A = this chain, B = another copy of it.
Amino acid sequence: MSTIARPPRRSAFFLSDRTGITIEMLGHSLLRQFENLSFTEITLPYLDTTEKAETIVAQINDCAVLDGMRPLIFSTFVNPEIRAILDSANALHLDCFNIFISPLETELGIRSSHTMGHSHRVEDGMDYGHRIEAIRYTLEHDDGISHRNWQQAGIILIGVSRSGKTPTCLYLALQYGICAANYPLTPEDFRYRQLPAELRNLRDKLFGFTTDPVRLHQIRNERKPGSEYASLKNCEYEVREAEALMRQEGIPYLDATNKSIEELATAVLHEVKLERKIY
Contact = CB atoms under 8 A, between A and B. Distances in A.
A108 B25 CA distance: 20
A192 interface: no
Interface in A102-149: 103-104, 107-108, 110, 112-122, 128-129, 131-132, 135-136, 139, 142
A175 B21 CA distance: 10
A261 interface: yes
A2 interface: no
A157 interface: no
Interface residues of A, number: 73
A36 B112 CA distance: 9
Number of copies: 2
Contacts of A92: 103-104, 107
Contact of A30 (B29, B104, B261): B104
A76 B23 CA distance: 15
Contacts of A122: 258-260
Interface of A: 10, 18-22, 24-26, 28-30, 32-37, 41, 43, 45-46, 72, 76, 92, 94, 96, 99-101, 103-104, 107-108, 110, 112-122, 128-129, 131-132, 135-136, 139, 142, 166-167, 170-171, 174-175, 222, 258-263, 265-266, 270, 276, 278-279
